[in-house]
Structure 1
């Protein structure tokens, strides 16, 4: 199945389950990636977070239910996942600008969030510098954090900020071996069929590469060692001011590069490499379709 069709299948799943529980794990399964990577991919393709899109679609169809049906307001709220009429009314007013009761009793203006449909559009606004590397097995040493998947985009910047303040980054610099993937690493790790509610985010440096003339570096006290297998990696240059430079790479990767590359996402973490002087790399594991 074509990658774009897989994404559209995930959208159809959302539409079919607006009045039911929507499994993020199933959505990620349609696209053959982790929950975290699906959320990241969705946000760059749709220009809005996945949770916001689902909420807005539910509130859109809830307005039609109010206009065309006779169900009580509380029953419509419960239908679309709200635990009380007050919670539903607050969310409805935040989106539409009017309360559900006014929709029933007056002629009012409402908002609509249309159903998404993904298509390939080649813009070519920025060229991409990348290389495909058959990289051997390697190990990293670092500190991992359990993060609620739905809060990852909010929490991860705070992890980096705290690491600079509490001495974690100083420890990396003291023990820095300068092996590739190089620099300070931010690794987003979540199993394809694992726990969809949580992911692991790792601050690390590479401490051993198989087949390279390098000496393994033992993790200092308080750090763990994590191994990754030999794989095919698409390595993208993401130089420039943060976070825009890295965000631009992700957006182009998901909207332009991946649909036309002949590759699919592999079930391995995404690695962001932070070097010096606004130089960054993004490592994304891929496999032949």
Structure 2
């Protein structure tokens, strides 16, 4: 995976002035665009689209300081007008092209990334691979913004809005793995952009033949392979660390890649105040 990501960085550098055919590159690298985007955002700490924009504006700033007309620079880097280029330039640098031409700055440069393998993984990850038949995820869904760290208040409010007896009704409906009450995230931005919207479902898993009550939302999940990470500790910090470690340690070391589908958290045990918990993180995968 490290080699593939560095080839992606090289491609970005050679296509700063035009569009990148990421689907073709992914196929050439023997992976998928979905997996490549998710791994990039997890390891780089930013979406691929943000990195491309920042690199373009970093290089474009050199042309502006050199005195090239703003419209020429805009066209060079794929913008249809000097106004559109100016907005993108200011979003990255915090200043207008005219100000930079006059004063030489301020500028916020994005260095070229280079991914390197470091020796980690001294603590083994509690992981299993399982093939599962088609299932239905049933419960209560809502659209919420993606938040990478800490408790998501929008999800918290959605779950808190459910009547107390609804949690017991849902739990009684579940009849297959993943077991228990589930936290399901789907329709997630492939770049995993902070603040982008996703669908969150609070519910349970039932087998494909089970009828779902009319008042519940349903997510149909086809048969396939899943990697399951089990973790225990402070909640949600340890769970979020496990998600990050899946990208930095597990996927680069194993012949599997992410495939489109929901990510599922099964809460197996928890403290009364939810300060600690034992969870399973289920991610849909396929052989690389």
- Please state which band the TM-score falls in when normalised by the shorter chain: 0.7 to 0.9
Structure 1's 17 and 241: CA in aligned 2 closer, same or farther, altered over 3 A? farther
After superposition, the CA RMSD in angstroms is 3.8
| Distance in 2 between residues matched to 1:94 and 1:259, nearest whole Å | 33
| Distance in 2 between residues matched to 1:20 and 1:242, nearest whole Å | 44
| 1:180 is aligned to 2:177 | yes
| 1:225 is aligned to 2:218 | yes
Equivalent position of 1:258 in the other structure: 251
Cα deviations by residue, 1:24-60 (Å, 9 ceiling, x for unpaired): 76787764153xx655432320123334322321210
Number of aligned residue pairs:
270
Equivalent position of 1:195 in the other structure: none
Equivalent position of 1:285 in the other structure: 284
Equivalent position of 1:160 in the other structure: 155
Structure 1's 208 and 106: CA in aligned 2 closer, same or farther, altered over 3 A? closer
SS at match of 2:232: coil
Q: Per-residue deviation at 1:257?
A: 1.1
| Distance in 1 between residues matched to 2:267 and 2:158, nearest whole Å | 14
SS at match of 1:114: coil
Structure 1's 134 and 91: CA in aligned 2 closer, same or farther, altered over 3 A? closer
- The answer as to whether partners of 2:186 and 2:261 remain within 8 angstroms in 1 is no
Q: Per-residue deviation at 1:235?
A: 0.6
| Distance in 2 between residues matched to 1:110 and 1:146, nearest whole Å | 37
SS at match of 1:238: strand
Unaligned runs of 5+ in 1: 193-197, 211-215
| Distance in 1 between residues matched to 2:21 and 2:252, nearest whole Å | 24
Structure 1's 13 and 152: CA in aligned 2 closer, same or farther, altered over 3 A? farther
Equivalent position of 2:239 in the other structure: 246
Q: Per-residue deviation at 1:74?
A: 4.1
- The answer as to whether partners of 1:121 and 1:256 remain within 8 angstroms in 2 is no
TM-score (norm 1): 0.72
Structure 1's 85 and 285: CA in aligned 2 closer, same or farther, altered over 3 A? same
Equivalent position of 1:63 in the other structure: 61
Q: Per-residue deviation at 1:283?
A: 0.9
- The answer as to whether partners of 1:120 and 1:256 remain within 8 angstroms in 2 is no
Counterparts of 1:122-161 in structure 2, within 5 Å, are 122-124=119-121, 126-144=123-141, 152-153=146-147, 157=152, 159-161=154-156
TM-score (norm 2): 0.72
